[in-house]
Amino acid sequence: MFIDTHIVSYAKKGHLTESIRGATISSVAVSELLLVYGDRRTAANYYVPLGYPLHTGASIASLKRDHPYSKRSTDRVVFSFGSDFEPLIEYGSNAIARMVNNRNVELLRQSISFLDKPKQKVIREDFDFLIENDVRCVPLRPGTVEIGYRLLEAFHLSGERFKTTFRNSWNDLLILAAAWDHDDDLWSCDSQLNRFAAAAFGECNQWIPGLLKIRLRAATVGTQKRGNRESKGYVNKGWRAAFKTGGSKAW
C-alpha cells in the first residue's frame, strides 16, 4: 500500500475505514505533510541534515537562531525541464526518509526549532502520526524520477491543466511514479491525479467515493522498467535530474 499526502490527512481525521498501518509513502509526500516546501523553487522552509551531528538543541540555538541546518547539510535533487518549466530543487529526500524510518523525533525537533510554535506543533503531530502507524518512507531514486518525467510528458499530452504552482503537479506525478517504481498500488484522493490516472492507464479501482487505488503498467507510460546501466535519459531533451549527496556540513 502506497499512500499520498491526502490519504494521511484523511486517516488522521478518522475518515478512512481501512488502516494505513505499515503503508509506504514517498519522501515527496512527507515533505508536503511536514511543510518542508516554501514559496521559493530553489529553497525550503527548513532543512533536515543527512549526517546528523550529536549536538544538543541548546548548542545549535547558540550557534544560529535561524535555520539551524543549512541547505548544504542535506542531500538534494535538481530537476531541469529544459525550456518547458523552470528548474526545481528537492531538498532532503534521503535525509527525510531516514528520519521517518529511524523515528528520529529529536532531529525533526531541532530542524524546525526556529519556526513559530503553531507551525512546529502541526509538523510534530503529523510526524508522530506517521510513526504511530509504522509508515515507511522511501526516498527518490533515479528510476523513480525517470518514470516521473515520462508521466509528466503523458500528463502534458492528456490536456490536463497544471496546478497554479507547477511544483504541486510535479510532486503528484513523482508520488505516482514512486508507487510504480516500487511495484505497488497508490491510494490517492487527489481528484486531478485520479482523473489523469484513470483516463491514461485504466488500472484504477474505486475504494470509497473520491478515493482510488491506482496501479500503473510499464507499457502505459511508454517505457519498460530498465536497470541503471540501460537508462539513457528522459523523454524530452533537456529534462534531467542531478542527484547531490550533500551532508558534508551541519550548518
Whether residue 121 is contained in a domain is answered as: yes
Angle between helices 191-201 and 166-181 (to 10 degrees): 50
Q: How far apart are CA 96 and CA 104, in angstroms?
A: 10
- Three-point CA angle 112, 133, 104, nearest 5°: 35
Please, what is the Cα angle at 108 between 102 and 113, to 5 degrees?
165
Q: What is the pLDDT of residues 156-192, one digit of tens each?
A: 888 889 999 999 999 999 999 999 999 998 999 888 8
Structurally, the chain folds into a number of domains equal to 1
* pLDDT score for 200: 74
> Is there a domain that residue 182 lies in?
yes
Q: Does a structural domain hold residue 250?
A: no
Cα–Cα nearest to 29, from 108, 110, 124, 96 = 96
Higher-confidence position of 193 and 89 = 89
> What is the pTM for the complete model shown?
0.86
Summarize pLDDT for 212-247 with one digit per residue, the tens: 788 776 545 544 444 333 344 455 668 999 999 875
Q: Say if CB 172 and CB 37 are below 8 A apart.
A: no
Torsion of CA 42, 46, 50, 51, to 10 degrees: 130
Amino acid at 97: A
Cell 531516514, located at residue: 98
As a whole number of angstroms, the distance between CA 13 and CA 31 comes to 19
Q: How far is CA 202 from CA 35, 97, 151, 212, in A?
A: 32, 30, 14, 12
CA atoms of 242 and 236, how far apart (whole Å): 15
Report, in angstroms and rounded to the nearest whole number, the Rg of the chain calculated over CA atoms: 18
Domain limits for position 133 = 2-244
For residues 221 and 147, the answer to whether their CB atoms sit within 8 Å is yes
Residue 249 included in any domain: no
76 and 244 in contact (C-beta within 8 Å)?
yes
| pLDDT level of residue 128 (50, 70, 90 thresholds) | very high
Question: For position 231, what pLDDT does the model report?
Answer: 41
Helix (H, G, I), strand (E, B) or coil at 236: coil
